[in-house]
Amino acid sequence: MSFPHMYQWKHFLALFFPLLLTQIAQVGTSVFSSIFSGQAGTVDLAGVAVAVNIWYPVFAGICGIFFGVSPIIAQLRGADKASRIPIYITQSLYISIFFSMFTLTAGSLCIPPFLDFMGLETAVHIVSQGYFIALALGIFPILMQATLRYIVDAHGMTHVSMAILLLNLVLTVALFRLFIFGGWGIPAMGGIGTGYAITIASWVSFFIFAAIIQWKEPFRSYRIWTKWRPFHWTYCYHLLQLGIPIFIAVFCETSLFSIVGLLMAEYGTLYLAANQAAISYSTLTYCIPWSVSLTATIIIGYEVGAKHYDKARQYAVLSQITALFIACITASLTYIFLDPISAIFTADTTTFKAIRTFLLFAMVFAFCDAAGTPVQGVLRGYKDVKVITYIAFVTYWIISIPMGYAIAHITPYGPYGYWLSLIISLAINAVALNMRLWRHTAWQQ
């Protein structure tokens, strides 16, 4: 296998940077919700933290199901079988509608008793419950726009998704300021206001994506909104064959952060809020390896579909180099600006010190992410998704959670022990994924 050529770097980066900005825009709502809630008060930040830690793994996992359409479309385009793309798009939208209904039903039944079970402070409980009520109004557009975004990206038009989601971020941040602190006749809602802001912005971006699918080529020729295509189980089954393993893998990883966030309630509102600030920042830095992963899936899926296996291997190497290089820059900048970053989330001195310590762990965590996450995208480009699920389940649920609980309660690390276990488990995950990739590419030598 030769080293990646210059034109491959240019092609890769041309897709990567729009995807990176798109991911930053998507997770930016979580980061800014923590920042604005923290400015409103520690209770508001804690309440939003509980709600986000319950909602985000569900959202990210379900988006993993929708992401299954991306390698399918990429390989169909590479194999010059574009005529089959519209039926897959339609079935993916049916899946999205189903999960919107399922999420609303399951949430209304499960979330109230779960919040009661957690034994939160009354003020924190009120903020969390209000957040979910507001978010329920936006479940449909949130999940539908996620599906449409992956459809657009799979056609190599990552700049379109970038523009829409950056607009979404700007609108959401403006609405955060309005709903959290009040103005223009709207009362101050505190942390609850973040839910309404996300809902309104999601409806706007959904309608824009829908318009793109209607009027922009090649989507216009697919006639997604004007030509009726019935539900077809065979195509849905193919989508779910890829999507469900991705759902499990993503859910295992994101739920790990959420479980840690919820376990922080044991140490009080201060650590609950400080941990959420660190998670928000870590989620932002995670955009880099995850964007590399998304890019790798699209490009490698296309090359595999065209049976250009040597080029696929070159793009795999390129993906890992890119992620590790940017991770070094990110970690350096985080260390240099550690105090200013911590101060963004709180004005309280004690909370500031806790956030600063959590961010040091998050900085190391980013390196492990850069070593493993891009490999997931490479394997998904090959449609090798089941092994990612197995590795994620073992490393995150079987190893990390019990280890974190033990370190937190047996050693002097306390709440920081959970982050130490996150780092160890993610390192094991990265090693296992790379071993799988080496074996997979060796089979095609």
Q: pLDDT band at residue 208, thresholds of 50, 70 and 90?
A: very high
Q: pLDDT band at residue 224, thresholds of 50, 70 and 90?
A: confident
Phi/psi of residue 119, each to 5°?
65, 40
Q: What percent of the chain has pLDDT over 70?
A: 93
What pLDDT does residue 204 have? Answer: 92
Mean of pLDDT values over 210-223: 86
pLDDT at residue 203 greater than cutoff 90: yes
What pLDDT does residue 443 have? Answer: 46
Q: What is the pTM of this model?
A: 0.70
pLDDT at residue 335 greater than cutoff 80: yes
pLDDT at residue 444 greater than cutoff 60: no
Q: Output the CA angle 20-22-25, nearest 5 degrees.
A: 110
DSSP SS3 for 4: coil
Instruction: Determine the Cα–Cα distance for residues 321 and 80; give it in Å rounded to an integer.
Output: 30
What pLDDT does residue 441 have? Answer: 56
Mean of pLDDT values over 301-323: 76
What pLDDT does residue 390 have? Answer: 83
What pLDDT does residue 206 have? Answer: 92
What pLDDT does residue 4 have? Answer: 60
Structure tokens belonging to residue 298: 């699209």
What pLDDT does residue 245 have? Answer: 79
DSSP 245-296: HHHHHHHHHHHHHHHHHHHGGGG-HHHHHHHHHHHHHHHHHHHHHHHHHHHH
- Per-domain residue ranges for the chain? 6-443
* Closest alpha carbon to 327 in 371, 274, 378, 392: 371
What pLDDT does residue 223 have? Answer: 83
Residue with tokens 């385009």: 77
DSSP 349-366: HHHHHHHHHHHHHHHHHH
Q: What dihedral do alpha carbons 435, 441, 443, 445 form, nearest 10°?
A: -140
Q: pLDDT band at residue 207, thresholds of 50, 70 and 90?
A: very high
Q: Kindly report the average pLDDT of the chain as a whole number.
A: 80
Structure tokens belonging to residue 102: 């399922």
pLDDT at residue 442 greater than cutoff 50: no
* 74 neighbors 154 (Cβ within 8 angstroms): yes
Higher pLDDT among residues 438 and 202, named by residue: 202
